């Protein structure tokens, strides 16, 4: 683990940094760097809807050609599927020797979509939270943990640059973990697919459908399988699984262990090993990039299917009942 005292901001203090992208992570990194007195520019497409937001925040917007020419460090925070084109069209033959590329996710490097020239420093700084949390915790004089990694170390200062950058976005206040592009990419994809997004979404929808198909009201099914999930997640987030189990009833705790041992653990572990294998062997990346090549035909089909699911219609009605969402729903 690395912390503030391990990080020397002088390694980037006099560098010109351009953040490419001003979305969830992009705006957070850029604003935190700016507040850390690091000269920071923003690079966006001419038609980007984020240009005015970035300008209003006090940033100068650079065209990609200018960003590549003047910057010492380029921070690539655009979607994974757009990074290969950006690199080969604008960076590969125009970025000067000894300069640095920083990624927040190792997807393109690890899966060889980008094979960088060996004359660049290639670094990973991946905060483990959405961008708005990276920003809000920084403003509270705190931060979120981050993973850091070095893929290429041309000038022998890459780790120091990663540490300095991580300090300037607030992550070294709470802790930095040294890893590799490979491990960050594979564990990140696995967590998203098997638990955080794919796993949780599937459990919610399957539970909801099971109750509705058994004759229970959709509203009741929504409360039991989706709405109350936040109560459990908050307990887990703050104190781990054991604190959550301490806080729930004996009935709920007994059911937790019983179902885990007799059903979920046995079935899910086998499925998760297959999910991990498909990530490790590149099958998932291949399918994702193939879908991108046909304008995300499958992704858009999935979006349409699940946006029209009964749980979404019921959920909109249920959420309108709560004060925290009332104004947003009616407006």
Tell me how far apart the alpha carbons of residues 43 and 86 are, in angstroms, rounded to a whole number.
12
312 marked among binding-site residues: no
Residue 45 assigned to a binding site: yes
Q: Is 85 annotated as a binding residue?
A: no
Q: Which helix (H) or strand (E) segment is 146 a member of?
A: strand 146-152
Name the β-bridge partners of 127.
146
Q: Does 48 show up as a binding residue in the annotation?
A: yes
131 is in an annotated binding site: yes
Task: Tell me the two tokens of residue 231.
Answer: 């109560």
Q: Rounded to 10 degrees, what is the CA torsion of 306, 312, 314, 320?
A: 180
Tell me which residue has tokens 């420093």. Answer: 121
What is the end-to-end Cα distance of the chain in Å, rounded? 46
184 annotated as ligand-binding: no
Concatenate the DSSP letters of all residues of 226-291 into one string.
Answer: IITHHHHHHHHHHHHHHHHHHHS-HHHHHHHHHHIIIIIHHHHHHHHHHHHHHHHTTHHHHHHHHH
CA 322 – CA 248 distance, rounded (Å) = 23
**Is there a binding annotation on residue 192?**
yes
Annotation-wise, does 202 bind a ligand? no
- The DSSP secondary structure of 20-43, one letter per residue, reads E--SHHHHHHHHHHHHTT--EEEE
Number of residues assigned to the chain = 331
Nearest to 135 by CA among 79, 57, 41: 57
Say whether 83 counts as a known binding-site residue: no
105 included as an active-site residue:
yes
Q: Establish whether 23 is an annotated binding residue.
A: yes
| Tokens read off for 275 | 């999910």
| Given 27, 29, 105, 110, the catalytic residue | 105
149 beta partners? 124
Instruction: Give catalytic residue positions.
Output: 105
Binding site per annotation, positions for substrate: 249
Binding site per annotation, positions for NADP(+): 22-25, 45, 48, 50, 131
Binding site per annotation, positions: 22-25, 45, 48, 50, 131, 188, 192, 224, 228, 249
Binding site per annotation, positions for Mg(2+): 188, 192, 224, 228
């Amino acid at each position: 683990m690395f912390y503030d005292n391990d990080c020397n901001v002088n390694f980037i203090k006099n560098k010109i940094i351009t953040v490419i992208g001003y979305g969830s992570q992009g705006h957070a990194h850029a604003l935190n760097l700016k507040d850390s007195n690091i000269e920071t520019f923003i690079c966006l497409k001419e038609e980007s809807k984020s240009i005015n937001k970035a300008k209003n925040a006090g940033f100068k917007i650079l065209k990609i050609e200018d960003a590549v020419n003047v910057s010492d460090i380029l921070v690539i925070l655009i979607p994974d599927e757009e990074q290969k084109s950006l690199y080969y069209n604008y960076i590969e033959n125009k970025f000067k020797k000894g300069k640095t590329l920083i990624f927040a996710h190792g997807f393109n490097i690890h899966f060889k979509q980008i094979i960088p020239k060996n004359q660049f420093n290639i670094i990973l700084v991946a905060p483990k939270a959405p961008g708005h949390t990276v920003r809000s915790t920084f403003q509270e004089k705190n931060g979120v943990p981050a993973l850091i990694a070095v893929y290429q170390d041309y000038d022998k200062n890459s780790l120091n640059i990663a540490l300095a950058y991580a300090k300037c976005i607030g992550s070294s206040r709470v802790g930095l973990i040294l890893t590799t592009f490979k491990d960050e990419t594979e564990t990140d994809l696995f967590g998203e697919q098997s638990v955080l997004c794919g796993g949780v979404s599937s459990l919610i929808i399957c539970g909801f459908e099971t109750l509705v198909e058994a004759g229970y009201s959709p509203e009741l099914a929504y409360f039991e399988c989706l709405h109350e999930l936040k109560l459990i997640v908050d307990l887990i987030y703050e104190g781990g699984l054991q604190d959550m189990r301490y806080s729930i009833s004996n009935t709920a705790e007994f059911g937790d262990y019983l179902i885990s041992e007799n059903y979920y653990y046995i079935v899910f572990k086998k499925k998760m090993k297959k999910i991990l294998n498909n990530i490790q062997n590149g099958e998932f990346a291949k399918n994702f990039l193939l879908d991108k090549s046909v304008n995300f035909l499958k992704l858009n089909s999935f979006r349409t299917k699940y946006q029209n699911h009964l749980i979404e219609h019921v959920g909109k009605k249920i959420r309108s009942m709560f004060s925290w969402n009332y104004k947003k729903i009616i407006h």
